[in-house]
Structure 1
Amino acid sequence: MPDASRTGGSTAQRPQRSPLGNILFGAGVVLVLATMALGAFAGVAFMEKLADLSPLSAMVPDHGHTALVVGGIAAGGVIGLTLPTILFGMARGNEQEPPVGPGSALLKMLALLVFGVYLLVGSIVVSQVGWILPQGVTTLVAVFAIGFSWMPLAMVPWEKLGLGGVVGDRFGSRLRSNSHEAD
């Protein structure tokens, strides 16, 4: 008879959520999606004001405004998506993972703020393409450049820099602990 650990099957069943737990989970998902959408709108409004009413207005070409909109959507959406998740992590814990402490949450929020600034500065840099390209092409370049600009950050070994608990360790440790336990 094959062993359950070799075939990949699990003999332990996951505990079922109560109806109240399902309602709370659904409310949490709706809240996170709402803050993500509101963050994206706020990011766009911020970048539009920055391009029109600030000293940067002379630096951003007319065809580069859409790059700022793309950057505002990215920064606001990421901040709006991640901030409530960090706050939920402070309130919720279990036997395997304790709640996120205030110091760790503050570091995560600071890292999130730095990432948002990184995206906004990247959108200002990409908007400079608007001096030589038409608006449609500038928008296309902005979507790809800003959308993929975070990839070098994903390849940095954050654990070796002492920031493993700040950047992505909460989900990564869960994935590593469940993979091939019985090898």
Structure 2
Amino acid sequence: MILVLATMILGAFAGVHLTLKLADESFLSPAIPEDGRIALVIGGIGFGAMVGGFLPLTILGLIGGTDEKPRLRPIEASRKMLGVLLFGTYLVVVSIIAAQAGWILPVGLTTLLSVFAVGFGWVPLALLPWERFGLEGVRSRFASSKRAS
């Protein structure tokens, strides 16, 4: 558990560094207003923490298994990591959109808007019809865990 926490924190720091570079020194820098830099960093924190948290869990799932929960196959692990990377990219895109409010709002309000946008960014994904993508058990696993508690 400490390994997961450590990689999550390191991933968040890496996400901050990468999104600051994205805002300052990349082709995207003219599109990010000065008052929207922190909004972009919030998306980087979400991206880095997600990837940093799920990477060791996926690796541990590949090498360890029990009778109840068998080991992950490489295809399953790569599909999980691809999903985490896509979701993290989605959070960065949401933060780029929220950063555009920096053209008209001050820094504090842009940051507040970005925290809510990135924090609730998972809600549209919860409403997707996962059955159409061949992921029949996604919603039923969530519903069964709610019933158990």
What is the TM-score of this pair, normalised by structure 2?
A: 0.89
Give the corresponding residue for 1:154.
Answer: 126
Structure label with greater radius of gyration: 1
| Higher helix proportion (structure 1 or 2) | 2
Structure-2 change in CA distance of 1:100 and 1:135 (3 Å):
same
Which of 33, 39, 44 lines up with 1:61 in the alignment?
33
RMSD: 2.2
CA distance in 2, matches of 1:152, 1:56: 25
Give the corresponding residue for 1:119.
Answer: 91
Give the corresponding residue for 2:70.
Answer: 98
CA distance in 2, matches of 1:45, 1:107: 26
Identity %: 50
CA distance in 2, matches of 1:98, 1:159: 24
Give the corresponding residue for 2:79.
Answer: 107
User: What is the total number of aligned residue pairs between the two structures?
Assistant: 148
Structure 1 runs of 4+ off > 6 angstroms? none
Give the corresponding residue for 2:20.
Answer: 48
What is the TM-score of this pair, normalised by structure 1?
A: 0.74
Unaligned runs of 5+ in 1: 1-28
Paired letter, 1:56: L
- Structure with more relative contact order (C-alpha pairs < 8 Å, separation 6 or more): 2
Give the corresponding residue for 1:136.
Answer: 108
Unaligned runs of 5+ in 2: none
